[in-house]
Amino acid sequence: MGVAVRDLEGRCALVTGAGSGIGRASALLLAARGARVGVLARSARDIHAVVAEIEAAEGEALPLVADVSDEAAMREAVERFMARFGRLDIVVANAGINGVWAPIDDLKPDEWDRTIAVNLRGTYLTLHLAIPHLKAAGGGSVVVVSSINGTRTFSTAGATAYAASKAAQLAMVQQLALELGRHRIRVNAVCPGLIATDIADSTIKRNQDLARVPVTWPEGDIPITGGKPGRAEDVAATIAFLASDAAAHITGSPVFIDGGQGLLR
């Protein structure tokens, strides 16, 4: 990856949703910067591919198969992580889904529940199980992957469950930044805009036009890239910064990584 700095040597990181997209890019970059990485996702095939890539670059990684909304599976995954690495310094709570985007009177209760379960309960379980180990290590860094949706923009038609989960994640970050500061644990959020990942492939869109407010955006609605989406690596670079000592005095902060997209909306 062309990364020379090894400022995370000796540290151990857990990355959820690490089989693809932002999670994959983050796991690869943290490993390249010297961290030993727990690569967690639901797909065994995806995480083994990421682990193989890390190991090919002479890094150290552990594949962990779990659904972040499943307490038993997450508890077992964290226990396996600790048995292998013995400490935990960095947590990247990235796992999430877009879920179903539909008008509120069309959105089914089970569709709402699934989005909240993965995005919000999953974040809760990740931190609930990880924080005791960060405390034991004498501190550390947590980075939650939120979104501009629900925090800066509200223009994605029908994305009520998604936006609510992302707003709640940011509230958790700011609450926990204060609560955990005495333990030298920093808690921050990254809020990406449109990023070139495969998350959109699993998004279910239904009757969005019934919830959409018509508006015409300026041509190229991501100003800094002329309308092109950002890269997962752009988000990973910020995550690695927040995980490092270079961000030692930053906590409770959202970092918007959207190329200015949210300012238009």
Pairing of β 100-101 and β 185-192? unpaired
Q: Which of 39, 42, 78 is nearest to 60 (CA)?
A: 39
* Gap between the Cα atoms of 72 and 116, Å rounded: 18
3-state SS class at 171: helix
Q: Which of 63, 74, 64 is nearest to 118 (CA)?
A: 74
**Is 162 marked active-site?**
yes
Q: Which residue among 85, 112, 162, 256 is the active-site one?
A: 162
* Gap between the Cα atoms of 265 and 263, Å rounded: 6
Q: What share of the chain is helix, strand, coil (3-state, %, to 5)?
A: 45, 15, 35
Q: Confirm if 237 and 27 have CB atoms less than 8 A apart.
A: no
Q: In the 8-state DSSP scheme, what is residue 198?
A: S
Q: Which residues are catalytic?
A: 162
